Chain A
Amino acid sequence: AQSVTQPDIHITVSEGASLELRCNYSYGATPYLFWYVQSPGQGLQLLLKYFSGDTLVQGIKGFEAEFKRSQSSFNLRKPSVHWSDAAEYFCALSYTRGTYKYIFGTGTRLKVLA
């Protein structure tokens, strides 16, 4: 069965430090992969997506993610974290082209220290 694993429930980093949030997926073929961010009480905002092609994907707010087929991973990175990045981050996959039935990971809550 398809699944998404985010191993880190909470991550704390200092402002200005680099960030990497891990995401592993289970699916026999190449899925569509997404990273969303959710601020408290808000909906989900798309950071970036991978459908095919270049395995290094650039997103909004300075985020990027790298798709590694051999490791079944799609880790999210940012070189320098800002206090406003504090939020919950969700990795998601879609395995059926043309539909929007997403499987989400459990999320990683990011805390940023001033």
Chain B
Amino acid sequence: KAGVTQTPRYLIKTRGQQVTLSCSPISGHRSVSWYQQTPGQGLQFLFEYFSETQRNKGNFPGRFSGRQFSNSRSEMNVSTLELGDSALYLCASSFGGSAGDTEAFFGQGTRLTVV
């Protein structure tokens, strides 16, 4: 069974540009969550999507956005990149739904470097 796939694995962007990261969840999973990991702030929740709807949102500026497609694949977008956006972005997939008694499975992440 394939795991969570994140593409690309590494990305270098220039300040002011925008970037789109992709996440393909485990087959059958309908919930996708995104996290930012930095040495200073640790792991911080960005947002969660379930069945194409944003279900939760963390405390990040509006430059960070996401969406989920009908096949559960998700993308996150960061506009007007800042140096502080350099981080490992992790995607997690879960069955989702009302039960909720399941865990999240994480991908290997996308390492974004803003120069």
Contact = CB atoms under 8 A, between A and B. Distances in A.
Interface residues of B, number: 31
9 contacts: A43-B109, A49-B103, A97-B100, A98-B97, A99-B55, A101-B33, A102-B35, A102-B43, A106-B42
Given A43-B4, A98-B97, A98-B98, A90 B103 contact: no
Question: Which secondary structure dominates chain A's binding surface?
Answer: loop
A98 B100 contact: yes
Given A44-B106, A45-B106, A104-B43, A97 B90 contact: no
Given A46-B106, A102-B104, 7 more contacts: A43-B90, A98-B98, A100-B31, A100-B104, A103-B45, A104-B44, A105-B42
Interface of A: 32, 34, 36, 41-46, 49, 51, 90, 92, 96-107
Interface of B: 4, 6, 31, 33, 35, 42-45, 48, 50, 55-56, 58, 90, 92, 94, 96-101, 103-109, 111
